[in-house]
Structure 1
Amino acid sequence: LSAVRLGHTYGRFYTNISGVGRLGKNMLKTDIIHYLDQCELSLDDVKIDYNKGFYPMGALLKFPSVESFETAVRQTIQGRMYRLERVSPDEWEHKISLNGKAVLLQGVPRNAQVDDIERFLCGTNYEPPPFENFIRAGVPEPVRMVLVKFGSRTDATNAFIAKNKGFCLNNPVTVRVIQ
């Protein structure tokens, strides 16, 4: 309610490609801020909206004013690559943001135990288990994914640099920073 009094306006930003309706999986918060360069957005004003498989579906944006939102709408219409629609403050409030303090391990062997994952992460400053595990449909077989949280963005980025394309139980593992 206080955000409404301050004049904040909220929006959902996503691609304009028909049938897709999501962001590219490598799009960063800074990419959105630079694209909407006339709107005075900061990293804290952007929350990436992921689906259950951690594909970015869009970004929730908090604009400092209605005028800033309208400027963003004009920029997206001119660029024709993205769409921006207004959303309620509740949508913003209920969306949890990992703020670049987590990485997604993709391709972890299904038989890997917690100690195998910890061994893979050796040398990084990850938060202790439990890790979030889930299976995503894949070809030719499902892919196990593990979400690992870190204390800071720097620690998560360092883990990405050090561990991306590494091996866990002889399986290649891709690491992606989750914003």
Structure 2
Amino acid sequence: MFQFFFSWPTLNCEETRSPARSSSAKKKRREKMSKLCLMAKNALKSRVSPLNSTRILPSFRSFSTEGGEPQQDSSSSADPFLQPPQGFVFGRVNIQAKYMLKTDIIHYFEGCDLSPANVKVEYNRAYNPTGILLQFPSQSAFDLGVKQSIRKGRQYRLEKVDGTQWELMPSYDGKTVLLQGMPRTAIPEDIERVLSGFEFDHNFQIFSRPIGMNEFIRCALIRFPTALDAVSAFLRKNNSFCQNSPITMRVLQ
């Protein structure tokens, strides 16, 4: 509230003594009072004018927006579309079949959002498959895979494994062909003659792998540009001869 202080005119002795003078003095006082009241009204109007009210509004708006910002942050954090995606879940199944395709496993775990890129075949030293690693996109997909395995009689028992096994396991992606049965005297030039007419990576090595007690077999891993090239070489050059020794070929998944 605004306070106004008025100085009231004092009456002298001459005004109280003369009626004419006292009436004129009262009239002057009334005029002064009316002027003072008018000045006070104008002052109040200027204090609460629309111009000043608009200057006050932004302060209230700023307070309301500052109070609303934390609510927006909390709502955005609860939005599932803004949350980071869930991590992968890795599983492993044991297999006994020597010849198996990635598509066989994908069809077995149908509905689990698996693709050939989510499947790796685990081989032993003789390059016989011993297991398959699976990369599920979510925990719910993994749980569905467990239910699928139970429903189908646990032909492939699914177990959860650590992600480091997936990272350390090499992936051949159907582009690598295993050659077996070369003689001991075979050199890389002999392998290149067998695969003449095909495009492949010439940076390969010939090595030995055990196949029994004190028995070894000579092998080589040949990398092709595509899976189609690998299959074509397998179909045309399997059971070929290297230095008069028959060799077998197998595409690694």
DSSP-derived class of the 2:100 partner: coil
The answer as to 2:231 corresponding to 1:174 is: no
Count of matched residue positions in the alignment of Structure 1 and Structure 2? 169
Hey, what does 1:97 align to over in structure 2? 171
Gap change, CA 1:8 and 1:141, over 3 Å in 2: closer
1:16-165 correspondence to structure 2 within 5 Å: 23-79=96-152, 80-138=154-212, 141-165=215-239
* Pairwise CA distance, 1:78: 2.3
Q: Which has the higher contact order (CA 8 A, sep 6+)?
A: 1
Alpha-carbon distance, 1:89 to partner? 1.2
**In structure 2, what is the equivalent of residue 7 of structure 1?**
87
Please report the TM-score for the alignment, with normalisation by the length of structure 1.
Answer: 0.87
Q: Is the 8 A contact 2:89 2:139 kept in 1?
A: yes
Q: 1:141 deviation in Å?
A: 4.3
* Greater fraction helix: 2
Using a 3 Å threshold, how does the CA distance of structure 1 residues 140 and 120 change in structure 2: closer, same or farther? farther
Q: Who wins on radius of gyration, i.e. which is larger? A: 2
- CA RMSD in angstroms comes to 1.9
The 4+ residue runs of structure 1 with deviation greater than 4 A are 138-141
**Does structure 1 retain, via aligned residues, the 8 Å contact 2:204–2:221?**
no
Residues 103, 156 of structure 1: 8 Å contact kept: yes
Per the alignment, residue 19 of structure 1 pairs with none
Q: What is the CA distance between 1:134 and its match in structure 2?
A: 2.2
- The gaps in structure 1 that reach 5 residues or longer are 16-22
Superimposed CA distance per residue, residues 134-160 of structure 1 (whole angstroms, 9 cap, x where no aligned partner) = 232248942211111112211111111
Give the Cα–Cα distance (whole angstroms) in 1 for the partners of residues 171 and 130 of structure 2.
14
- Distance (Å, rounded) in 1 between the aligned partners of 2:165 and 2:85: 17
The answer on whether the counterparts of 2:208 and 2:216 sit within 8 Å (CA) in structure 1 is no
Shift of 1:67: 1.0
Unaligned runs of 5+ in 2: 1-83
TM norm structure 2: 0.63
- Judging changes above 3 Å, is the alpha-carbon distance between structure 1 residues 172 and 138 closer, same or farther for their aligned structure 2 residues? farther
The percentage of aligned residue pairs carrying the same residue is 44
Q: 1:39 deviation in Å?
A: 0.9
